[in-house]
Structure 1
Amino acid sequence: MVRTLLVRGLLLGLLAGLIAGGFAFAFGEPQVDSAIALEQAHAAQEPGHDHGDLGEEELVSRPGQKAGLFLATGLYGLAVGGVFALVYAGLRGRVGPRSEGGLALAAAGSAFGAMILVPFVKYPANPPAVGDPETINSRTALYFVMILVGLAAIAIAVATARRVTAGPWARWVAAGVAYLVPVVAAWLLLPTVDEVPEGFPATLLWQFRLVSLGTQLVFWTAFGVLFGWVSDRAARRAAAVPATAVSPG
């Protein structure tokens, strides 16, 4: 069964990754082009800049980068889909909704909240020309810390919900508070990173970040719906087998 779930996660993750890649290509690449143009214009105005450098060939051309976008999102979908399937196999019958589709949607929504939304609020994505290259390691480390906080918050919320027996409303409130306490504490205590250069268009920055979040939302929505739908169909077929397989007498 685990092998079946793993193959399902890989294939549907790949499909969801390509869907998200299409969204990023349509709505995100124009923002990247604008940011690159601003970066090049800023570099051309720097003292001592050799204007002949603008004609140097890029290591990877923009058409190549745009084509590689689908490769990147497809590989991302494969990796995430495989890990999700293994986690899903461990959760079945133990945590969350009993229905296959409900569990898939709940798990995908929780993953999006913990690994995407929580770190995004504190450390949103930046377009080219934003961010100091010398701080990329520290910024990456802080981002992963926020992911760990989000995952830990999910685990704390689930454990809290299982301990509360006063009723569904009390259970949901307790789980929500248990989730928000570590997340808000991390938002307040971890250092802020603000490396947006002076004069960078606020609209372009906002649009890029919105598309970045939207790409992840498209991926997790598509993947959760597809995985849940396929899992529900498989469960119904499995439940129908005993009734049709029994021969009279």
Structure 2
Amino acid sequence: MFRNLFVAAVLAALCAGLVTSAFQAWRVTPLIFAAESFEGGEAHSHGDDAAHSHEAGTPVHSHGDDEWMPQDGFERTAYTVLANLLMAAGYALVLGAVSVLFNLPITFNNGLLWGLGAFAAFSLAPALGLPPGMPGMPVADTLARQLWWAGAAVSTGAALVIAAKFRAGWALAVAAALIILPHLIAAPVAPDEPTGVPPRMTAEFVSAVLFNGALFFTVLGLAFGWVNDRLAARSVAIPEGAPA
């Protein structure tokens, strides 16, 4: 069972990582490049830029003269795809661990629910307090942002697990309280500093990142469930101890 879950997680991560990389290249990366021209108040070349990660809870950073950064083009794209694959593997293993710990199987029939739940926990809920940030936008303290993001993700994820595991009124009440709890604690506020990034571009970026998150977790959940079903059927078809 554990081997099947691991293989399913890896294959699902491969599917989700490649899909999200394609969407980012089409919709998200052009917005990042456009926003980087406003970073520091003036346009600059992308030739020495680092690949950015601007999901909710990830700080925008500045570039140092002695900081190594991948070159634009194939190198930057390759590092972005690699980062997406590693991120997808991490999330897939988290879903697999939750499935085992709480005896909640991941199948193709409920894979969409797993994906939407992961999107709610890891993207949507944290974005209510910490929306995705673009290059050139002021951000709050990094540690404070990371702690709040983790709290929102864990609290929302726990609420969804409780609601799925216990079909009772008290469970729904506890789940609702856990979803609301992190938002009763104010998220770190970014400093009120001027920025040259147009508001329209910021709105487009937030919507693109959230759509990308929904696409990523939907593919991850469905692929995980589909592969899990195939591996489980194969295990039943092959008697224990027989050669595969």
Unpaired runs of 5+ in structure 1? 45-53, 243-249
CA apart distance, 1:68? 2.2
User: Which residue identity lines up with residue 90 of structure 1 in the other structure?
Assistant: L
Alignment equivalent of 1:124, drawn from 131, 138, 153: 131
Q: Determine whether 1:174 maps to 2:173.
A: yes
TM-superposed deviation, 1:200: 2.5
Q: What root-mean-square deviation, in Å, do the aligned CA atoms of Structure 1 and Structure 2 show?
A: 3.2
Gap change, CA 1:211 and 1:140, over 3 Å in 2: farther
Q: What amino acid is the match of 1:183? A: P
Alignment of 1:159-198 (within 5 A): 159=162, 165=168, 170=169, 173-174=172-173, 177-186=176-185, 189-193=186-190, 197-198=194-195
Residues 163 and 236 of structure 1, relative CA distance in 2, 3 Å threshold: closer
1:67 equivalent in structure 2: 78
Distance 1:103 1:90, change over 3 A: farther
Identity of aligned residues (%): 24
Unmatched runs of 5 consecutive residues or more in structure 2: 49-68, 240-244
Alignment partner of 1:217: what SS? helix
Question: 1:114 and 1:229, CA in 2 relative to 1: closer, same or farther beyond 3 A?
Answer: same
| Cα distance, 1:164 vs structure 2 | 6.2
Aligned counterpart, 2:98: 87
Deviation, 1:202, is 0.6
The equivalent of 1:19 in structure 2 is 19
Q: TM-score, normalised by structure 1?
A: 0.72
Structure 2 vs 1, CA of residues 174 and 211 (structure 1 numbering), >3 Å: closer, same or farther? same
Question: Which secondary structure does the structure 1 equivalent of 2:84 belong to?
Answer: helix
Q: Kindly tell me: are residues 152 and 72 of structure 1, through their superposed partners in 2, closer, same or farther at Cα, counting changes over 3 Å?
A: same
TM-score (norm 2): 0.73
Is 2:145 the partner of 1:142? yes
* Whole-angstrom distance in 2 between the partners of 1:55 and 1:179: 45
Q: Distance in 2 between matches of 1:69 and 1:175?
A: 39
Cα pair 1:12 1:226 within 8 Å, conserved: yes
Q: Select the structure of larger CA radius of gyration.
A: 1
Distance 2:183 2:125 in 1: 9
How far 1:220 moved relative to its partner? 0.5
SS state at 2:135 partner: coil
